[in-house]
Amino acid sequence: MFGYMIKRFAYSIFTLFVIITITFFLMHAIPGNVYNSEKNLPPAIVENIRAKYGLDKPLSEQYFTMLKNTLKLDFGISMKNRGRPVNDIITEHFPHSARLGIFSITLCLFIGIPLGILSALKKDKWQDRLAMIIATLGVSVPGFVVAVLTQYLLGVKLKWFPVIGDKTIYHLILPAIALSFLPISFIARLVRSSMVEVLEQDYIRTARAKGLSERVVIYKHALKNSIMPVVTYLGPLIAGVLTGSFVIESIFNIPGLGRYFVTSISNRDYTVTMGVTIFYAVFLVLMNFAVDVLYTVLDPRIKLKN
């Protein structure tokens, strides 16, 4: 168990190293210098600026400097927002994204799983059909469409929810719905199919034969095994909520890191784009590692060979 964890962790670190290297060389493949857009700068000033960001040094030296700085969790200085460290930007904006993300993931689990269970228990009845129709729609409608439609209909027209910002939990409801619509559908389908499978297993028949009540059979015996696939889906779920937030935060005007990331792309603020990409990559790879460990702890059937 411990050996597996160390191996898995080393693997994550190696993945991160590859990610950082790819990011670095991709960003440096962008031709010209970053101040191309500001045409009036005299060459001497451009040289100065390049020297300030270390862009005048050989590529290999820049690479190792960056690697060292990344190890120290230092992502450099914004190129557009003069002198502002990328770390500052991350610590200021990421909490907004994290709050929205945690709320959305909670929503996903607390709606998706019960929906899947209901479907499985009422298999082929109207409840199941309805839930599966909603789930099929859910995987087909992009998050930004859900966001804009609900913002317009429930926010602007009916005035049930606030339309922009993230001051209170109440403000987070619409963006969280938009972010979790697709994962809810996915989780519901996942739980339904695994629950249907589990309910046919021998140990469920044994539990029923012992005379246990239906409630105990389902919630104590069947549920545990049927939500295991959801644990494996947690990794992609976190990644999906994170990337989904790029547009959702823009639509709902939430000052999160996703919105800042998108702005940095259109502003050609390359250090911010690179820093945030690496930050997100580190975050997601570590999350995946945590989910993997959680999975092996929860499911003793998994053999820890490999």
Partner 1 sequence: MQLSREELFKPLNRQRDNKAEVATRPSLTYWGDAWKRLKQNKVAMFSLAVIVLIFLAAIFGPMLSPYSYSQQIRGEENLGPSLQHPFGTDSLGRDMLVRVLYGARISLSVGVVACIINLTIGIFYGGISGYFGGRVDSIMMRIVDIIYSIPTMLYVILLMVVLKDRLDNLLKLPVFSGLQAAGSGLISIYLAIGLTYWVSMARIVRGQILSLKEQEYVTAAKTLGASSFRILVRHLIPNSLGSIIVTTMLLIPDAIFTESFLSFIGLGVDAPVPSWGSLANDALGSIRTHFYLLLFPSLAISITILAFNLFGDGLRDALDPRMRK
Q: Contact residues for partner 1 (CB under 8 A)?
A: 12, 14-15, 18-19, 22-23, 26-27, 29-32, 136-137, 139-142, 144-145, 148-149, 151-152, 156, 193, 196, 239, 242-243, 246-247, 250-251, 262, 265-266, 273, 277, 280-281, 284-285, 288
- Alpha helices (runs of H) in 36-125, residue ranges in sequence order: 43-52, 59-71, 86-121
Beta-carbon count within 10 A of 133 CB: 10
Q: Which residues have C-beta within 8 Å of that of residue 167, sequence separation ≥ 6?
A: none
Rounded to the nearest whole angstrom, what is the least distance from the CB of residue 75 to partner 1 in the complex? 15
Which lies closer to partner 1 via its Cβ, residue 23 or residue 113? Answer: 23
Rounded to the nearest whole angstrom, what is the least distance from the CB of residue 130 to partner 1 in the complex? 16
Q: How far is CA 2 from the centre of its chain?
A: 27
Rounded to the nearest whole angstrom, what is the least distance from the CB of residue 140 to partner 1 in the complex? 4
Which lies closer to partner 1 via its Cβ, residue 53 or residue 283? Answer: 283
Q: How far is CA 259 from the centre of its chain?
A: 14
Rounded to the nearest whole angstrom, what is the least distance from the CB of residue 42 to partner 1 in the complex? 23
Token reading at 25 = 């060389």
Which lies closer to partner 1 via its Cβ, residue 227 or residue 251? Answer: 251
Strand partners, 77: 85
Which lies closer to partner 1 via its Cβ, residue 22 or residue 59? Answer: 22
Rounded-to-integer distance, Cα 305 and Cα 221, Å: 27
Rounded to the nearest whole angstrom, what is the least distance from the CB of residue 215 to partner 1 in the complex? 26
- Is the Cβ–Cβ distance between 180 and 107 less than 8 Å? yes
Which lies closer to partner 1 via its Cβ, residue 27 or residue 204? Answer: 27
Rounded to the nearest whole angstrom, what is the least distance from the CB of residue 149 to partner 1 in the complex? 7
- The DSSP output letter for 300 is T
Which lies closer to partner 1 via its Cβ, residue 5 or residue 196? Answer: 196
Which lies closer to partner 1 via its Cβ, residue 187 or residue 207? Answer: 187
Which lies closer to partner 1 via its Cβ, residue 105 or residue 207? Answer: 105
Q: Is 218 left (phi over 0), alpha (psi -120 to 50) or beta?
A: alpha
Q: Which residues have C-beta within 8 Å of that of residue 182, sequence separation ≥ 6?
A: 138, 139, 141, 143, 240, 244
Rounded-to-integer distance, Cα 261 and Cα 269, Å: 9
Rounded to the nearest whole angstrom, what is the least distance from the CB of residue 165 to partner 1 in the complex? 17
CA atoms within 13 A on the CB side of 74: 8
Rounded to the nearest whole angstrom, what is the least distance from the CB of residue 15 to partner 1 in the complex? 5
Rounded-to-integer distance, Cα 63 and Cα 174, Å: 42
Say which residue the tokens 């001051």 belong to: 167
Q: Which residues have C-beta within 8 Å of that of residue 62, sequence separation ≥ 6?
A: 24, 28, 54, 55
